[in-house]
């Protein structure tokens, strides 16, 4: 049986800051728990999509769980406040509560960038 040659990894587009931590996986599974179409929920969804499009190079899956429709789903991830973002993959699981408006906090908490990477980028004016 012939094995197909591996295709090289995609190169990031120029002008987009996409240098994640060395440990960053190729695929991310993110679950965002919201409560209906409230302003905070809509802000969290928009912020998460923007952050993923900018920093994860289309290597992510977002699941939005509306607890107004399915409140029992909160138990599986022990959700106590909303909106809450849960990074399912890569492990370990990590959680962020709020509307995700602090991009730096989201990037560091999810492990996309380290705090030192962000400090260095800020110092260089990136």
Tokens representing residue 68 in the block: 């107004």
Query: Tokens at residue 12, please?
Result: 């990031």
User: Residue 35 in contact with residue 66, Cβ under 8 Å?
Assistant: yes
The tokens for 126 are: 């990136």
Q: Which residues of the chain have a pLDDT value below 50?
A: 1-25
Superfamily, domain 28-123 = Glutaredoxin (3.40.30.10)
- The residue ranges of every structural domain in the chain are 28-123
State the chain's maximal CA–CA distance in angstroms: 55
pLDDT tens digits for range 2-23: 443 333 333 333 333 344 444 4
pTM: predicted TM-score of the whole model, two decimal places = 0.73
The two three-digit tokens of residue 47, written as one number: 């912020």
């Amino acid at each position: 049986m012939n094995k197909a040659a591996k295709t090289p990894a995609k190169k990031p587009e120029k002008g987009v800051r996409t240098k994640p931590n060395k440990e960053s996986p190729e695929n991310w599974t993110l679950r965002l728990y919201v409560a209906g179409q409230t302003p905070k929920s809509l802000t969290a969804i928009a912020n998460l999509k923007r952050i993923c499009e900018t920093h994860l190079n289309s290597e992510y899956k977002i699941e939005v769980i509306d607890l107004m429709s399915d409140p029992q789903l909160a138990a599986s991830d022990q959700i106590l406040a909303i909106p809450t973002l849960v990074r399912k993959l890569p492990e370990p699981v990590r959680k962020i509560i709020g509307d995700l408006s602090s991009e730096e906090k989201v990037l560091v908490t999810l492990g996309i960038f380290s705090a030192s990477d962000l400090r260095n980028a800020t110092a260089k004016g990136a």
